[in-house]
Amino acid sequence: MKSPFHILKRPGSPRRYQIKVLEKALAVLDLLGEAEGALTLSEVSERLSLSKPTAFRILSVLDQASYLERAPGSQGYRLGLKLSRLGARVDRTMAFQKVARPFLVELKERCGETVHLTVLENGEALYLDKIEGQRAVRVVSRVGMRLPAHCSGVGKVLLAYLPDDEVAEVILERGLARLTPNTITDRTALRAELKRIRERGFAIDNEEIEVGLKCVAAPIRDASGEVRAALSISGPKFRFTEAETKKLVNLVVRMAEQISSAIRQEALDRTELRRAPDAIVDRTVGRRRTAGRS
């Protein structure tokens, strides 16, 4: 398995892939998303210049997967509840990213290295945000990149706070591929490493995903106290001396704690904002009752 990381290299222009049937299905979703009401098979076929058999197959598959649904009392199709759930998830992720962004900027300014905000998705570490360091030798990565969880600093942090059965499921589905001589490929050794991470409150990637690359990472908690993301500092091995690594660990842990505090405060602010109209009504009703007794 090839490492997704590179040092001293920049990715070229991404290749554009085309899958015709997928493009048609996405066009159907776009069409229904812009429509004011449900659309019938004939309307979808006509507006997108699709044959009726093609339109029917696409609508049927999307309907079966709950991306679409039949409008009650009609033959029309409309967007389904699964898209609503996905949209709500995106909203939460974007809100999370928005809160964390200023702290990523500050962290990069203080350490000079590349910093990442990461979540666990489908057993892999997914980069939500990234700010690249300004030094001559730096890590090249991109938002949206996925990393194996067992051999990345952020991935190990996110695995460390999962229940044991979920960790076992990730290992079963994703395996423990060796990317470097330092990659942990033994289940018992990985569980011991995850225990150490929970005890220390941070993880270190010691050239486990890419030779010459090191990383320190710390957990970020949501308003309920659950670990939902990880913050990391990555750079070349020669700059991560023992003394410098200790400094970076302290820095990333403190910044992750500040992000967690900001997320809790943002949740409290939202709660107060939702309660505000009720409080206004309660005060208004109270004044009316007082006036009625006078």
Mean pLDDT confidence for 118-125: 92
pLDDT of residue 86: 76
Question: Could you tell me the two tokens for 291?
Answer: 């006036």
The structure tokens 């969880």 sit at 149
Mean pLDDT confidence for 162-171: 95
Domains of the chain, each with CATH number or no CATH: 20-79 (1.10.10.10), 91-269 (3.30.450.40)
pLDDT of residue 15: 54
Tell me the average pLDDT of the chain.
Answer: 86
- The predicted-structure confidence for 78-109, as pLDDT tens digits, reads as follows 998 888 777 766 666 667 788 999 999 999 99
Higher-confidence residue of 288 and 236: namely: 236
Residue type, 264: R
The neighbouring-strand residues paired with 113 are none
pTM, 2 dp = 0.68
Cβ proximity of 104 and 131 under 8 Å:
yes
pLDDT of residue 14: 46
For the cut 90, the answer to whether the pLDDT of residue 111 exceeds it is: yes
Question: Could you tell me the two tokens for 283?
Answer: 């005060």
Long-range CB contacts for residues 142-147, cutoff 8 Å, separation at least 24: 142/11, 145/4, 146/4, 146/121, 147/4, 147/5, 147/118, 147/209
pLDDT of residue 9: 41
- The predicted-structure confidence for 181-211, as pLDDT tens digits, reads as follows 999 999 999 999 999 999 999 999 999 999 9
Let me know the angle formed at the C-alpha of 218 by 215 and 221, rounded to the nearest 5 degrees: 150
The neighbouring-strand residues paired with 124 are 121, 148
Work out the number of other CB atoms within 10 angstroms of the CB of residue 132. 16
Higher-confidence residue of 75 and 163: namely: 163
Report the distance separating Cα 218 and Cα 106, nearest Å.
16
User: For residue 282, with 0-12 CB atoms within 10 Å meaning exposed, 13-18 middle and 19 or more buried, which class applies?
Assistant: exposed
pLDDT of residue 88: 65
DSSP conformation letters of the chain:
---S-EES----PPPPP--HHHHHHHHHHHHHHH-SS-B-HHHHHHHHT--HHHHHHHHHHHHHTTSEEEPTTSS-EEE-HHHHHHHHHHHHHHHHHHHHHHHHHHHHHHH-SEEEEEEEETTEEEEEEEE---SSS-EE--TT-EEEGGGSHHHHHHHHTS-HHHHHHHHHHH-----STT----HHHHHHHHHHHHHHT-EEEESSSSTTEEEEEEEEE-TTS-EEEEEEEEEEGGG--HHHHHHHHHHHHHHHHHHHHHHHHHHHHHHHHHHHHHHHHHHHHHHHHHHHH-
Q: Give residue 292's pLDDT band: very low, low, confident or very high (50, 70, 90).
A: low
Report the distance separating Cα 130 and Cα 214, nearest Å.
16
